[in-house]
Structure 1
Amino acid sequence: MSAGQPYAIRQMRMRDHWFTAPLDHAEPAGPSITLYAREISDPALDGQGLPWLLFLQGGPGGRGNRPVALNGWLAEAAKTFRVLMLDQRGTGLSTPANRQTLPLVGDAAAQADYLAHFRATDIVADAELIRAALGSGPWSIFGQSYGGFCALSYLSFAPAGLREVIITGGLGPLAGPADQVYEATFARLMARNAEYFARFPQDRQIVTRIISHAAAVPEFLPTGERLTPERLQMLGNFFGGNTRIDTLHYLLEDAFVPTPDGDRLSDGFLAQVSAQVGRAANPLYALMHESIYVQGAASNWAAARVLARHPEFHPDAAEPLLTGEAVYPWYFEQDPALAPLREVAELLAARTEGWGALYDPVQLGRNTVPVAAAVYSQDIYVDRDISVATAAAVNGLQVWETADFHHDGIADDGEGIFARLLGMVRGTPGEASAVAP
């Protein structure tokens, strides 16, 4: 372990931490990787020996947040914690895993074997190594989205390292095929499409027009590749947020611009779309996405199979619906950042060996660590019914279900959500009594 000198960004005190971890924790003498984490605290509380809170980011494949101010949930957390913002293995300043670095590992088969060590259980083992290196006793963790999946793995395999757990939008299925996830989330996505087009009826025509135009007229993203109808449909990712749904409306407003060759998609629109549908910044998201549900069996492109059963999402539909976060085989043909990883993606999708258990249902059933989770009733990414079933399987887990937020709830009212859940795990009067069963 090494640590840099403390420094300040506005009202935040920060410190960089670096750790060396085995690629495979079962073989500590084997190849190693570097892990990076940023310590964040309130300078006004410096020197008070505050306990640690580990933040587990959503994803998979997302680096830790880069805050520029002490606000939202971070401001609330900094009242009682030193926050450790981890760049999960393969992301950010930790040893990267992308089209540029993975060839250093070997051929596509070697890369797939390498990436088999980039799942929730490996992230938990990294966290325990970091906790020991920092000299911390059992610490608190906060898991957002995929970070909540990691928190459930932590409760399964290293509960002794945990003081308390907070989860937001991150109670995934404990068992079963990945197909169940996409059946549930596509159903919620259909409802969210209906809600959006009822709210902005004028956008129904323009979305259909844009998708038809992209099929007929070559339009190119700033990264050089042709924009396809399928990638345009990925703008449904905006449906995962309370305010982001309005951002989609603004994006569509100036989609077309008149040119000597007729109406074309504007440069501004294409630039904004590229930022939404490209994976250059987080290729692990696409590579590992379905693996977060896999335990002992291949995913075999589960989302693509489920999508084929829903023709209303097909680009050729009379009024095609927008999709969202799911990953499909064509993704690795159309995105330049992913195209070199196509063979690796196919190997991971077909992989049947090396996908160990992500959870221990027996341990979760006898859990004694205080846990509280926010479940968003209309979440299009982590289904409400699956979340409630998972919560029921974890002894003592308290659920706060709300329809006031979507998947990005902590971006809307992170301060209030964090305070509420922390009060629940600590039994603050007035909070636990408000919990929905």
Structure 2
Amino acid sequence: MSSSYRQPGVVLTDRHFTVPLDHDHPGGESIELYAREVVAAGKDPADLPWLLYLEGGPGFGARRFTGRGAWLGRAVEEYRILLLDQRGTGRSTPANRQTLPLRGTPQQQADYLAHFRADSIVRDCEAIRPGLTGGAPWTVLGQSFGGFCATHYLSTAPEGLATVLITGGLPALTAGADEVYRAAFPRIRRKNEAHYARYPMDVARARSVADYLAEHRPVLPGGLRLTPEAFQSLGLMLGSGDGSHQLHYLLEDPFVLTASGYELSEAFQAGVEAALSFAGHPLYALLHEAIYGQDPAQPTGWAAERVRAGFPEFAADKLLGTDRPLLFTGETVHPWHFETDPVLAPLKETAHLLADRTGWGPLYDPARLAANEVPVAAAVYHDDMYVDTAHSLETARAIRGLRTWVTDEFEHDGLRAGGPRVLDRLLGLVRGEV
């Protein structure tokens, strides 16, 4: 049963769907999906084309907008929008440390989570599309991992697509996890260099925090063990438009003088824990490397950890006590995340089983993409920290008819930070207006 309500300028309707856990066995177990329909106020009775929004991740529910914020204001001018909480996220059937034990053993949990990649997400979309659109194809807007899903959609079910718009999410079609991370660490290093050039005072501040953590290994109020490596994970912030500034503000005053000497301030601890906790998106940690698994014979095997060993400048223990800058890391997940974060620790064995899993199938069909007939446009952000620009441009050349907008005006979050401009530009590209 759906319910509708209003925010400034829009009418929202809650939508609920039941889909198979395994689409190859539709008579088996089912899971629930949640999505929020958004339409401009006054247009809710109109027969509008649908736009499906696929959020980045993996593991994040669709963004919760207020009114006509960010790109949504442009979209509701002509579309009825569906903000889908992809399986396991948001208000869809959850998958986290509280619910996964219901699946049984860690092996059973890992087998369950193997159904949460882009291939299953796209089949979910195709399962719910006919009931919403009357069978008509819809426009898909994919941000980051949502763009990976959209590329899989083009590979497997292009008949369901009227148009595809991708922002910061053109994946490498054949690269495995190791290749993805070998390309990532030099980009992450460049983002660190740019941050320290902008805020040179942060060199000493970050190093002093790392030195303190190496000696004290504090446990933060929410239970997160703040090791030097965990602290380095704050580099995830450096891939967004204002992330460098937010990291600087977090590092401004990390210590406070107490009766026992200098300690990390409670404000700093709260800010760090909010930035590092996986409580709202555990699937990001569990499945992040699996989204790159395409060789049935090869496990991903903690690729980021393995590749990082080839970039010793990121080794925190080798920098302690020196005057060299501490390098923050980026969109990488490591085994120790499942030891330092209390929301991940109960899933440690499940995570290792996923890392060791074989049988991952290819996610993209280069031959079908080369014959593509769906209008596609993609925003590719120059030196995007999260998605390699060279990989994206190689994929753009491999998808017939795809038009790119390469820009250094935005970081990876351009769709959010750029308001209606990014969506407007992509629509102009697919329509031949620019």
- TM above 0.5, yes or no, is yes
What pairs up with 1:10-409 in 2 under 5 angstroms? Answer: 10-134=8-132, 135-295=134-294, 296=296, 297-316=298-317, 317=319, 318=322, 319-353=325-359, 355-409=360-414
CA offsets, 1:166-200, max 9 Å, x none? 00000111113211111111111111111110110
SS of equivalent residue, structure 2 residue 262 = strand
Unaligned regions of 5+ residues in structure 1, if any?
432-437
SS of equivalent residue, structure 2 residue 13 = strand
1:136 shift after superposition: 4.1
CA offsets, 1:13-59, max 9 Å, x none? 10011111000000000100001100011113222211110000000
**Distance across 1 between alignment mates of 2:3 and 2:300:** 44
1:383 shift after superposition: 0.7
TM-score (norm 1): 0.96
Worse-matched range after superposition: 332-341 or 210-219: 210-219
**Distance across 2 between alignment mates of 1:40 and 1:425:** 23
**Distance across 1 between alignment mates of 2:206 and 2:348:** 29
CA offsets, 1:389-415, max 9 Å, x none? 111111111111001111011121131
**Distance across 2 between alignment mates of 1:409 and 1:162:** 23
Task: Report % sequence identity.
Answer: 52
CA offsets, 1:90-148, max 9 Å, x none? 01111111111111111111111111110001000000111012124000000000000
- RMSD value, Cα: 1.0
Structure 1 residue runs of 4+, over 4 Å off?
none
Worse-matched range after superposition: 6-15 or 34-43: 6-15
**Distance across 2 between alignment mates of 1:190 and 1:407:** 16
Does structure 2 conserve the Cα–Cα contact (< 8 Å) formed by 1:52 and 1:136? no
1:426 shift after superposition: 1.4
Q: How many residues are treated as equivalent by the alignment?
A: 426
Does structure 1 conserve the Cα–Cα contact (< 8 Å) formed by 2:52 and 2:138? yes
**Distance across 2 between alignment mates of 1:58 and 1:337:** 21
Unaligned regions of 5+ residues in structure 2, if any?
none
Tell me the equivalent position of 2:417. 412
1:321 shift after superposition: 0.3
Letter in 2 for 1:278: S
**Distance across 2 between alignment mates of 1:204 and 1:136:** 56
SS of equivalent residue, structure 2 residue 418 = helix
CA offsets, 1:303-323, max 9 Å, x none? 001111111111122432000
Does structure 1 conserve the Cα–Cα contact (< 8 Å) formed by 2:11 and 2:41? yes
Does structure 1 conserve the Cα–Cα contact (< 8 Å) formed by 2:224 and 2:277? no
Letter in 1 for 2:173: L
